[in-house]
Structure 1
Amino acid sequence: MIAATQVLGGPKSRQPMQRGRQSFNLQPLRALRAVRRLIADKEDTAQVFEIMRALAGNAIPKGYRRLLSTPEGGRIAYEHDEFAERLSDPVWLAQFGPGTVGAAYRDFIAPRGLSAEGLAEESRKIPESDVDAAHPLAWYARRMRDVHDVWHVLTGYGTDALGEVCVVAFSYAQTRSLGFAVIALAGARQFQKARLGQPYGKAVREAWRNGRSAAWLPAVDYPALFAMPLDEARRTYKVAPNTAYQAIPPQYRDRIAEAA
């Protein structure tokens, strides 16, 4: 845990947030440039954070206030657990037995070479990033960043191009962050341009609807969630099956690259 804290920026190394209200202003031109770069290279994860930063608006402050209004949200915010540190601790992850969310998360990230640390590093690449600031809103932004792959596990979407677009559409319904909406729409358009005869739009719309009908996941106690059986967690938090996504053959879920 000490090593993870040093890498990810522990509490002692965090600096005050440098910007005020202007940090929540929408920057559509900045977002458009980042969208174009992301379409050109879907592996350029830093552009996702650039889009999210440019179009954050008031989603983070509103989300934080909503968290405080939930039964467990006040405690979660008070404890301000840095979830990326837990996710980067192999000993902590190893405690979860077969069938649990924690085990499913391990099985999800290991073969793909994913890590919470890697995602955090990508988020730091954008100019003027305050993501590591010692501020409640920065903590909430880190929390939303760190649960991205957990939402992949809960929703059942893979890391293929379609899976990423779908989990982003799900995330927009959960957070109302305009950046998620723009990425989902841009991705859906690229799939449509591929003209492969697959119901890509249906899969993306289903993901958005599933996000709307699910419980509000930003308020979940994630360490406790990891100990739950995955099927039980999906039932508890009303995460519906992704049937439209599953109906598309795996070999067609990454064909967005041909449309770029």
Structure 2
Amino acid sequence: MAATLPPFPGTTGRRDWRTAFEAIRKLLANGDDTVQVFRIMRALNVGSTERGYARFLATPEGGRMAYERVELATIFAQPGFADQFAPGTVGAAYRDFLVSTGYSADGLAAVSREGSEIEDIVHPYAWFGRRVRDTHDIWHIMTGYKADESLGEAALVAFSYAQVGGLGWAFIGAAAALKSLRVTKSTLFAKAVWEGYRHGRKAQWLQGEDYLKLMHEPLDAARARLGIRQPVAYLKAQRELGPELASYLSERRQATAEAGEPQRLAA
């Protein structure tokens, strides 16, 4: 059974709904504004980091990893890191992900720091929160949800809520699903989001994994071991809605795409 730990020092223990609603309006108006995702998480994910860290310590390898406190974003961003992995492994898929999206390993970390004074503080909870952040792209690879479309991000948000807890994840996923009913005139998007949640519930707890070892594991074997199912509803929605509706193409995203610059999409 997981240990009970004290709350994050300096926190009130109350959710900031005003900030959350302000941020979700901006996010739904512009899916490229990933900064709003982190504003929502900080506003609503009260207690989830503490609970996750306690659960992490209770896993067979969690104590060791917590003691070592490896910063995954720093490791992933090292020159040549992604080049070491054999074909067919999780790491090779990560390498392909970086090439196909144009993302950098520390790009999400940079976005998360905007407007935050606590992102990089030296504290076990803050470290665990960064670990959740830094494995986001690995979860895209493991689940098969694309990172450069709102459909894939929304499905992964729902998967993450089932895995990590924290009301912020649910808030974003539900808002994206509701918006999809108006934008797409279809329930396909919403069904894919719900499937993401169900698959997250059924999978093993991914935050307990040693990601530096996982990267060397064959991708299909890792998915099978962790109980990550094929996203049937997601693939159907992606196929039938088409790339424009799946991505909620905003004016900013279109301009960025025309300029050939990488993007960070949210829901």
- Give, as a single letter, the amino acid of the residue that structure 2 aligns with 1:246: L
1:180 is matched with 169
Q: Pick from 58, 77, 81: which aligns with 1:92? A: 81
Contact 1:35 1:51 in 2 (8 A): yes
2:100 is matched with 111
What secondary structure does 1:110 align onto? helix
Hey, what's the Cα distance between the residues in 1 that align with 2:67 and 2:13?
Answer: 23
How many residues get paired? 240
Contact 2:145 2:155 in 1 (8 A): yes
Deviations 1:104-158 (A, max 9, x none): 011112221112311111111024x311001000100100000000000000000
Give how far 1:86 is off.
1.4
What secondary structure does 2:80 align onto? helix
2:20 is matched with 31
What secondary structure does 1:126 align onto? coil
2:137 is matched with 149
- Give, as a single letter, the amino acid of the residue that structure 1 aligns with 2:45: A
Q: TM-score, normalised to structure 1's length?
A: 0.88
Give how far 1:256 is off.
6.8
1:133 aligns with 2:121: yes
- Cα 1:23/1:77, change in 2 over 3 Å: farther
Contact 1:49 1:126 in 2 (8 A): no
Q: How much identity, in percent, do the aligned residues show?
A: 44
- Cα 1:256/1:166, change in 2 over 3 Å: farther
1:217 is matched with 206
Deviations 1:34-93 (A, max 9, x none): 001111111011000000011120000000000001111111111111000111013221
Query: Gaps (5+ residues) in structure 2?
Result: 1-7, 252-266
Contact 1:25 1:56 in 2 (8 A): no
Contact 2:20 2:43 in 1 (8 A): yes
2:157 is matched with 168
User: Which 4+ stretches in 1 moved above 4 angstroms?
Assistant: none
- Give, as a single letter, the amino acid of the residue that structure 2 aligns with 1:61: E
Give how far 1:24 is off.
4.3
Give how far 1:23 is off.
5.3
Give how far 1:201 is off.
1.5
What secondary structure does 1:215 align onto? coil
1:64 is matched with 53
- Aligned Cα RMSD in Å? 1.7
2:65 is matched with 76
Give how far 1:257 is off.
5.0
2:219 is matched with 230
Give how far 1:197 is off.
3.0
Query: Gaps (5+ residues) in structure 1?
Result: 1-18
Question: Which of the pair has the greater relative contact order for Cα pairs under 8 Å at 6+ separation?
Answer: 2
Contact 1:174 1:212 in 2 (8 A): yes
